[in-house]
Amino acid sequence: MSIFETDIPGVGRRFEMELTGGTRLVTVVHHDGRCELFRRDGEDADGEKILDLSGDQANKLGSILEGAYFESVDVDELTVPLGDAILEWVEVTPDSPLAEEALADTDIRAETGVSVIAVQRDDETIPNPGPDFVIEPGDLLVTVGTREEHAAFADHVEP
């Protein structure tokens, strides 16, 4: 991975990193610590500003991205008290075959093995939704199952 650095006289320093698909992330760090983040669709494309950060916010985000607050793990090696079962959160898109369907009519458990244990809708969490619960676009389904069951569910929930 290449990161290109450029001094910006009177402003600070610019860092540019190529991401997947040729997209570039541009970070401008000002002398006072402020940070600006831009996204460019390619080397010659104009940048689109993503956000401004104060010096403190930039330092905190940098620490988070560097893993100072959370250390990622290899999920295939992860062991949890649920045994082989894991929890996943899946958003229902408007095009999903599950949208506007009652939970019982989806046959999620029978077809994939995954159980919907809760639904987050806007600011509300609905625990243990019943069979008559109608899934709406934008709902976040909290599901439990094995990795294989979740893979089957991902195929089931996507249009």
So what's the pLDDT on residue 81? 66
**Cβ–Cβ under 8 Å, residues 148 and 112:** no
The CA distance from 78 to 136, in Å, is 32
The predicted pLDDT at position 75 comes to 63
The pLDDT of residue 63 is 87
Amino acid at 112: T
**From edge to edge, which strands make up the β-sheet containing 3-8?**
3-8, 12-18, 24-30, 35-40, 47-53
Q: What is the pLDDT of residue 78?
A: 60
Ordered mean pLDDT values, 10 residues apiece, the chain (159 residues): 88 92 92 93 90 93 82 65 81 92 92 94 93 94 91 83
For position 98, what pLDDT does the model report? 92
Which two structure tokens, joined as six digits, stand for 6?
């450029």
Q: Is the separation of the CB atoms in 26 and 49 below 8 Å? A: no
- pLDDT for 141 equals 93
| Residue 135 · residue 76 · CB < 8 Å | no
pLDDT recorded at residue 120 = 95
Report pLDDT for 21. 83
Q: 85-156 maps to which CATH number?
A: 3.30.70.1450
Contact 96, 137 (CB under 8 A): yes
